[in-house]
Structure 1
Amino acid sequence: MLSCLTKTSAMKLLCLLSLSFLLYLKPVSAGGIANRYYLEKQRFLLEILHHVHEPLLNDQWRSLGEHLVSDKSQYVVYNEQMTDFFETFAHGRLVPREVYYNPQYPEHYQQSLGLYYFFYHTRDWITLWQNICWARVHVNPGMFLQALSQVLLKREDYQALVMPKIYELWPEAFHNEVTVRSARNFNFANWIRQQDTFTSQPLEVQLILPQELQPIRLEGDLRSSPKWFEAMADVHILRLKEHQRGLHRLQHLIEDIGWQSYWYYINMGIAQTENSSQELQEWWYNQLGQLLARYKLERYGQQLSYKRLTLQALTPHLLTWLNQRFQLVTPSTTKKVTQALQNLETNVADAISTRRFMLSNGSNIDLAAADNWLLGLRELFPFDLTQLQLESANEPQLLLDLRTSLRSPEFYYYAERLLRSYRRYRQVLQPTPKTSFRPTELRIDSMDITPLITYDEPVDVDLSNLLHARHFHFDGHFMWPFTLQQRQFRLQHEPFSFSLQITSNKTQSIVLRSFLTTAESGSGAVNREPFYQLDSFLTVLYEGVNRITRDSRQISGLIGDHISLTELHQYVRLAEQEEFDFPLNISTPNCGFPRRLILPRGGQGQALRLRLLIVATVYDFKARQANELNCDFSKGVSRWDELPLGYPFERYLEAEDEALHLWGDHTFWQPVEINHVDRFRHE
């Protein structure tokens, strides 16, 4: 305590606060309920990320952020990247705050890596706390958010903290320009005066009751609890009118904030992962294949060409944090990406024809020997997007930003070319499994499935971080007096289930995989059709006739709706008053895919006809449960067996392979139909 008196005013405050926090000495939770040490951390995190694109207004955190901790003894490791970052800062060469940040630019990436290690390698919370405050004040906001997100994803002692979703922290990249400008121009005082003025025209922003927020069902039933009304009692819930735009036929998918953010999070989780493995590469390419297949199913359902994609232009209407517009892909970017793909295709063709490959260390290997084909696969197909380095950061482009990539039609064209080379390589060089994967003495006899129904569901999206920060600070205190929501409509589907009748001549364990594909797929055409994997699960068959039932809500890797940024803050505030038991974790995992998007939009009037493929494989008792749903890849990824992820579509199938993998008693093809119904009337 006495040592605090000899420090600067900022350090005195830090020391005094640390006596009350002692966060690094105390457990985070007990029995799944947050304690006060956790809540203090969580509140700090929400306040420091509040309006991250604007200058920090919180005087307490600004004073703690006067200096970056430079004492090397305060870090577990002080590496070269940290040294370079500190020197860059000392010489005034950090990326300016007003510059558009993108980690695919070399200078930006190197600086974000150094900042990440200044967070990650801290010995205790106090050091991390001060460094976060310093970076919030002095560092480009995009770089700050990137580094902090990485740390909270990868440091086990901080993974319990809830990081608000990227589309709530940075709404500009997820909502159209009209929405962003309307929210930024909102003036609460003027709005109050409008309430007292009679007008026959509906207001742009309306006050709504708490029970009007949609969807009412969140993970953990947090909106149906009486505590929710107590937590939100002092908050005015405002709703911004949705601006109807000319809708293109795929907007309901590629502009869905869950669809877009999924790609952002899985790449954030993989970045800076220690000891990136072959398995992680396989997982990344499987996710890319899943996204492409799902996109193609949507194109098929909209009666658009889907078998071989072409380059298409799309006019973006998105802003970055400084009212810069996201642009179409520039000619220089197109040239660089196209050249990279052409080089890859040439190298893959050479590797296939010669069965040889030169590694980056100069070794020339025989790809047919032992597991050398895996070494070639690893070097030919990098999966860290920072490998695609671009020379300058003059303007934001949809394709080159992880938050907006899936909005860009070019993304799917390039992904298709990349996956084509990836699967060709595996088709030729991947050995046949040494043990039989095809179960014997069973037959899938029949399948029943409940109706597949999609609909447009109303949902309110939290835009509070678009409002000016000054609205949330009064007399030097941080407050949350209102939240701005926008009513949108998104694709949703009814829960469904299917039931299989399987006859087995013995007791055995099998893995059942289900794939959704077009109605046109069949013998000799599978390589031209998308196969989207809905599910895989383990089941036990007993001798005789077995009835296996599976519900869509049982599918792993999928997530529902999460608590919003505003609600999270109000729950923390209520818990700090000891009026609410704050559960851990109160949010949904970041790397989960939205459950609502597993089915393409159904047909209205005429049903969308598809086919469902069921494939049974032998269970080899090598299942492993990991934590990739939370973007934690330190222990690998979950899997049922040693078959390649995405099997059997991780490679192209020759005629004999197709007969072996897709036809026989262990498979079943079922025609299905998806109907779209009007459940809610658009406002």
Structure 2
Amino acid sequence: MTVKEQQKRILDLFHHLTSLPKERTPPTDDRLKGVGHLERGVLFSCFHETHLEEATDLYKILYGAKDFDDFMGLAKQARDFVNEGLFTYAATVAITHREDCRKLKVPPIQEIFPDRFVSAESIVHAAKEAINQPDQDIVVEREETGNILDPEHSLTYFREDVGVNAHHWHWHIAYPATWDASVMGREKDRKGELFYYMHQQMCARYDCERLSCGMQRMTPFHNFHEELEGYSPHLTSLISGLHYASRPEGFSLEDTEDVSLVEMIRWRERILTAIHLGHIIDDEGKDVKLDDEHGTDILGAIIEASHDSKNPFYYGSLHNWGHVMMAAIQDPDGRFKENPGVMSDTSTSLRDPIFYRYHRFVDNIFQQYKDTLHHYTKDDLLFSGIEVVSVAVNAKVQDLVTTFMKDSELELTYGINLGTTHSVSVRYHHLDHEPFTFNISVNNNTGEAKEATVRMFLGPKFDELGNRLHLDEQRRLYIELDKFHVSLTPGKNSIVRDHRDSNVTISKLRTVAQLREDSGEDDHYYCSCGWPEHMLIPRGNHRGMEFDLFVMLTDYTADSALDSTPEGVCVDSLSYCGIKDHKYPDKKPMGYPFDRPIDVDIEEFLTPNMTVADVKIKFRD
């Protein structure tokens, strides 16, 4: 069987999942007898412990199938029996990690469940047009989900971005919370630290967008009894027909059937106590030191909480249950049988402003740990003999990058049965930017060839009041633009880097139509995990918002955790997603050198192997 034929069979698994009958066909294979507890139509949440346990059982069964045909047989039976969302999660995890699926791609989540990405009004409009014009291709505009009466409305372009939400879903597929290396046979290197860093970067990006729009940086969630802002997602789940719940203004968290506020507060206090003591207590009662090398990883596993948590009973599941509680805030005990809100799902939670506030609260816990580590000294930061002379951004105007809104279309007919063979799509607007390159001038004064890691970050220069940000504030707003390896010859070196080569972004995402025609020969593809390229840089403003572009070169021979970068699948977005089935390629802490407090200003912080340049980002509406 060719790769193209296998790919078609994979695509058929996810076709029209929103239209599956409520009546379920029991599986005939005994391996599937233990799944199927979660009813059809219920919104699956990989944050909910019971849901996740069943999904884990299923993805382990599918992953353990003896060959591709056996996998397909099990997957088809599961499709006809288990919950729709749970099936999608489990089957995607199995396909992403099975060796015989290495060249196969899972269809984009936005085409499997478009009802999670565009408003219910848009889908109803498209369905009506498909009925009224059955012999034509249909394109409708995405409906707005709010207006300027909501102070957060200015940020909908970021929170509702299709690529950003899809990235979050795929990241949690690449790094399942319940991944058990002893069963799956593969380690997820530094998974806890990646959980911390990817979400920290989301918060940094969100605050950069807020400053771009003339808004204050977000106020972190900080009190389990505080009143929350209101939010309405305008999404309707097609598998149940129920709306994703809105959150009225002024509601606070309450106990749910599964977890109480007292437990959440207790878990937080135990984690903070461990940070202040410098060690956690594992499930055997032994102290495990939170050292410089492993501390962030250990805390990440505890806070998420993942299978790698060293004491899940004692430290609980602060992050996951937080999502569930916020999603259930309008119906905490389930008396009204409502759908939860968007915070319950990885593909929708970024739409809600509370996502970022809650993750800033989580990040603040990590930062308390970072405060216990020694601050980097000049010797820690120096790459002896290497001097970064300058860096420039080459666009239409040097050191000025223009952003703008662009139209794209989301196809509905793969995910939704609209009774037509013609295309039906929703046109939506998203942020994009002009192409640009980085030109870096470096002197290698060592007299011999050197291997270097180039680290590039972008951070706002001023706060919401126009004051120059101190470096210790600014470091948590720096967003990573790229990180890559270069060879330096003795003397002068000129490095040119295209923004499209960034190790942060996904290089391309194939639609279902493209996957149907894909030969499968191009496997240089990172499992759909990666930040969208069109959102690499913040929006900026109409005047030209000022940013600091930071560039640092470090010793690659000391940095690299690999003898060479593996070729092939899942090596696209290294910074946020690592490398599938390999160690995280960079030994340095994620976010280095801005991962620890800085008690000096930028001039004192800089060493010869660093430089900072002024860059403006101008938004053209």
Report the counterpart of residue 327 of structure 1 in structure 2: 245
* 1:675 Cα deviation after fit: 1.5
Contact 1:309 1:416 in 2 (8 A): yes
Report the counterpart of residue 269 of structure 1 in structure 2: 174
1:119 to 36, 41, 62: 62
Report the counterpart of residue 100 of structure 1 in structure 2: 43
* 1:345 Cα deviation after fit: 4.8
2:494 to 540, 544, 547: 547
Report the counterpart of residue 598 of structure 2 in structure 1: 653
- State whether structure 2 residue 559 is matched by structure 1 residue 619: no
Task: Give the AA of the match of 1:326.
Answer: Y
Report the counterpart of residue 172 of structure 1 in structure 2: 115
Task: Give the AA of the match of 1:47.
Answer: D
* 1:534 Cα deviation after fit: 0.5
Report the counterpart of residue 313 of structure 2 in structure 1: none
Measured in 2, the distance between the counterparts of 1:482 and 1:356 equals: 60
Q: In the superposition, relative to structure 1, how do residues 659 and 341 fare at CA in structure 2: closer, same or farther (>3 Å)?
A: farther
Contact 1:495 1:552 in 2 (8 A): yes
Report the counterpart of residue 509 of structure 2 in structure 1: 562
Report the counterpart of residue 433 of structure 2 in structure 1: 493
Structure with bigger gyration radius: 1
Measured in 1, the distance between the counterparts of 2:86 and 2:473 equals: 43
Measured in 1, the distance between the counterparts of 2:510 and 2:484 equals: 29
- State whether structure 2 residue 1 is matched by structure 1 residue 41: no
Report the counterpart of residue 18 of structure 2 in structure 1: 53
* 1:309 Cα deviation after fit: 3.8
Report the counterpart of residue 346 of structure 1 in structure 2: 269
* 1:674 Cα deviation after fit: 1.0
Task: Give the AA of the match of 2:589.
Answer: P
Report the counterpart of residue 454 of structure 2 in structure 1: 512
Contact 1:365 1:372 in 2 (8 A): no
Task: Give the AA of the match of 1:427.
Answer: D
Query: Superposition pairs for residues 167-316 of structure 1, below 5 Å?
Result: 167-188=110-131, 190-192=132-134, 207=136, 237-244=137-144, 246-247=146-147, 248-271=153-176, 272-275=178-181, 279-306=190-217, 308-309=219-220, 312-316=229-233
Measured in 2, the distance between the counterparts of 1:402 and 1:615 equals: 33
Contact 2:190 2:584 in 1 (8 A): no
* 1:414 Cα deviation after fit: 1.2
- State whether structure 2 residue 563 is matched by structure 1 residue 607: no
**Identity level (%):** 21
Q: In the superposition, relative to structure 1, how do residues 97 and 601 fare at CA in structure 2: closer, same or farther (>3 Å)?
A: same
Taking structure 1 as the reference length, what is the TM-score of the superposition? 0.73
Measured in 1, the distance between the counterparts of 2:296 and 2:520 equals: 46
Measured in 2, the distance between the counterparts of 1:513 and 1:409 equals: 30
Structure 2 residues not aligned, in runs of 5+: 148-152, 182-186, 222-227, 308-315, 326-332, 395-399, 463-467
* 1:165 Cα deviation after fit: 0.3
Contact 2:452 2:485 in 1 (8 A): yes
Report the counterpart of residue 421 of structure 1 in structure 2: 365
* 1:590 Cα deviation after fit: 0.6
* 1:118 Cα deviation after fit: 2.6
2:33 to 79, 86, 105: 86
* 3-state SS in 2 of match to 1:601: coil
Report the counterpart of residue 535 of structure 2 in structure 1: 597
Task: Give the AA of the match of 1:315.
Answer: S
Report the counterpart of residue 408 of structure 2 in structure 1: 459
Q: In the superposition, relative to structure 1, how do residues 362 and 527 fare at CA in structure 2: closer, same or farther (>3 Å)?
A: farther
Contact 1:341 1:418 in 2 (8 A): no
* 3-state SS in 1 of match to 2:423: strand
Measured in 2, the distance between the counterparts of 1:372 and 1:533 equals: 22
- State whether structure 2 residue 284 is matched by structure 1 residue 361: yes
Contact 1:499 1:548 in 2 (8 A): yes
Q: In the superposition, relative to structure 1, how do residues 325 and 181 fare at CA in structure 2: closer, same or farther (>3 Å)?
A: same
Q: In the superposition, relative to structure 1, how do residues 645 and 166 fare at CA in structure 2: closer, same or farther (>3 Å)?
A: same
Q: In the superposition, relative to structure 1, how do residues 447 and 67 fare at CA in structure 2: closer, same or farther (>3 Å)?
A: closer
Measured in 2, the distance between the counterparts of 1:318 and 1:619 equals: 47
Task: Give the AA of the match of 2:501.
Answer: Q
Taking structure 2 as the reference length, what is the TM-score of the superposition? 0.80
Measured in 2, the distance between the counterparts of 1:554 and 1:249 equals: 30
Contact 2:175 2:188 in 1 (8 A): no
Post-superposition Cα deviations, 1:141-199, rounded to whole Å, max 9, x if no partner, equal 111111111111111111322211001000111111201222344544x325xx8xxxx
* 1:616 Cα deviation after fit: 2.3
**Aligned residues between the structures:** 555
Task: Give the AA of the match of 2:552.
Answer: V
Structure 1 residues not aligned, in runs of 5+: 1-22, 24-34, 71-81, 196-206, 208-236, 473-480, 573-580, 679-683
Contact 1:527 1:653 in 2 (8 A): no
* 1:298 Cα deviation after fit: 0.4
Report the counterpart of residue 473 of structure 2 in structure 1: 526
Post-superposition Cα deviations, 1:597-619, rounded to whole Å, max 9, x if no partner, equal 01111322x11221111122222
Post-superposition Cα deviations, 1:202-257, rounded to whole Å, max 9, x if no partner, equal xxxxx4xxxxxxxxxxxxxxxxxxxxxxxxxxxxx321244356452111111111
Task: Give the AA of the match of 2:581.
Answer: K
Contact 1:563 1:586 in 2 (8 A): no
* 1:300 Cα deviation after fit: 0.7
Task: Give the AA of the match of 2:74.
Answer: N
* 3-state SS in 1 of match to 2:391: strand
- State whether structure 2 residue 75 is matched by structure 1 residue 132: yes
* 1:281 Cα deviation after fit: 1.4
More deviation in 256-265 or 381-390? 381-390
Measured in 2, the distance between the counterparts of 1:337 and 1:253 equals: 32
Task: Give the AA of the match of 2:179.
Answer: T
Measured in 2, the distance between the counterparts of 1:47 and 1:405 equals: 27
2:344 to 400, 408, 415: 400
1:110 to 28, 53, 59: 53
* 1:648 Cα deviation after fit: 1.7
Q: In the superposition, relative to structure 1, how do residues 501 and 495 fare at CA in structure 2: closer, same or farther (>3 Å)?
A: same
Task: Give the AA of the match of 1:279.
Answer: R
Report the counterpart of residue 485 of structure 2 in structure 1: 538
Task: Give the AA of the match of 1:69.
Answer: D
